Amino acid sequence: MSRTIKRGAAPPGRRPTPNRRRVPKASLGDRLLAKMPISEDALRKAVTWTVLGGVGVATLFVANLLGVPQAIGAGVAEAAGRAGLRVEQVDITGLKRMDRETVYAVALEDQSSRAMLRVDLERVRERLLAYGWISDAYVARRLPDRLVIHITEREPAAIWQDKGQLTLIDASGRLLAPVDSSRMPDLPLVIGPGANQQEPGYQALLAAAPALRPRIRAATWVGNRRWDLTFTTGETLALPQDGAPQALIKFAQMDGADPLLGKGWLRFDLRDPKDVCAARRAGQATGRRRRPQRSARRCRGGDGQ
């Protein structure tokens, strides 16, 4: 039996299929982002800060190269500051004796703006190095809002007494801080005008006779040319202007062979090489000097001459 196909009728064929929407595959970047341990929002903020900071620094650099007026560069920095690039936190490390607030105040003393890009790192470092306690300083930015400062402090070596004032000094004689007389640290005491500037030489003098060092209570810089040493037992030793280390070594040898300290003597005078052990006892007139009786031979050089 034959089929008749009417003209204009739709030819028999496949059933129409529903229109399915294609779902695009996730990109490699999206898949990596999904596996990261931070949220997408936090990552987006970090990228924004990085880009903003990079653009700001690049803009200031190009402006400087092209000679653009400083006000324009400052304007860019202030705009970046309003967007979040401003000093909100200062991390300070390396402190031993200094107060943290003091470092903070010195570092940001002349900062008219807290915009991060306007902080002059070299200027901050210079201000820190001008402070007595600080021997070195490292200053850096940590965008978007952190300033990092690492301090290297000077080591106190002695106490300088001048005109009734006590000041802590380092081995180079640099003034560090005032000293409270009721809380004196266990450090050598140097006395007199300019004695602080003689600290390197004084340290070398003490190193020449280390056995006597713990027995020396104070040292007085006399006439801006020589030292008088005061011992813990109360005696004073007058050293010559020239050859002081050799004279101190000689005195240490004499005291080691036959003790002189703590034996009732008040003053030893080594300024005269021909009379290198002149001494004075309590109650003896100032103008009269004699050699310690038990050390007469050694006071003349150990050979009777």
Among residues 81, 108, 140, the one where a domain terminates is: 81
Are 218 and 134 within one domain?
A: no
Are 163 and 148 within one domain?
A: no
pLDDT of residue 115: 76
Q: How far apart are the first and last CA of the chain?
A: 159
Q: Which of 282, 275, 192, 186 is nearest to 229 (CA)?
A: 192
Could you give the CA distance from residue 195 to residue 5 in angstroms, rounded to a whole number? 126
The tokens of 108 are what? 């940001």
- CATH assignment of the domain containing 239: 3.40.50.11690
Are 194 and 124 within one domain?
A: no
Among residues 153, 185, 205, the one where a domain terminates is: 153
Specify whether the CB–CB gap between 269 and 300 falls below 8 A.
no
Q: Is 138 exposed, middle or buried (0-12, 13-18, 19+ CB in 10 A)?
A: middle
- 28 inside domain: no
Specify whether the CB–CB gap between 239 and 247 falls below 8 A.
yes
Are 43 and 148 within one domain?
A: no
- 16 inside domain: no
Domain that holds residue 172: 156-299
Could you give the CA distance from residue 211 to residue 254 in angstroms, rounded to a whole number? 12
Degrees, nearest 5: CA angle 195-198-201: 140
The tokens of 161 are what? 């007494």
Are 292 and 187 within one domain?
A: yes
Are 245 and 293 within one domain?
A: yes
User: 94: Cβ–Cβ under 8 A, 6 or more apart, which residues?
Assistant: 150, 151, 152, 153
Q: Reduced to 3 DSSP states, what percent helix, strand and coil does the chain have, rounded to the nearest 5?
A: 35, 25, 40
Could you give the CA distance from residue 75 to residue 78 in angstroms, rounded to a whole number? 5
Q: Which of 184, 187, 186, 155 is nearest to 172 (CA)?
A: 155
Are 138 and 179 within one domain?
A: no
Among residues 138, 153, 168, the one where a domain terminates is: 153
- CATH assignment of the domain containing 97: 3.10.20.310
Are 145 and 191 within one domain?
A: no
Are 180 and 149 within one domain?
A: no
pLDDT of residue 228: 97
* The residue type at 294: R
Q: Provide the residue-wise pLDDT of the chain in tens; the chain has 305 residues.
A: 555 555 555 555 556 555 555 655 655 555 654 555 555 565 555 555 555 555 555 555 554 444 434 444 455 444 444 444 677 888 999 999 888 998 888 887 766 666 777 788 898 899 999 988 999 999 998 888 888 999 999 999 999 999 999 999 999 999 999 999 888 899 999 999 999 999 999 999 999 999 999 999 999 999 999 999 999 999 999 999 999 999 999 999 999 998 999 988 889 999 877 665 666 666 665 444 445 444 434 443 333 32
pLDDT of residue 109: 76
- 160 inside domain: yes
Number of structural domains, the chain?
Answer: 3
Q: Which residues pair with 227 in a beta bridge?
A: 221
- 97 inside domain: yes
Are 101 and 75 within one domain?
A: no
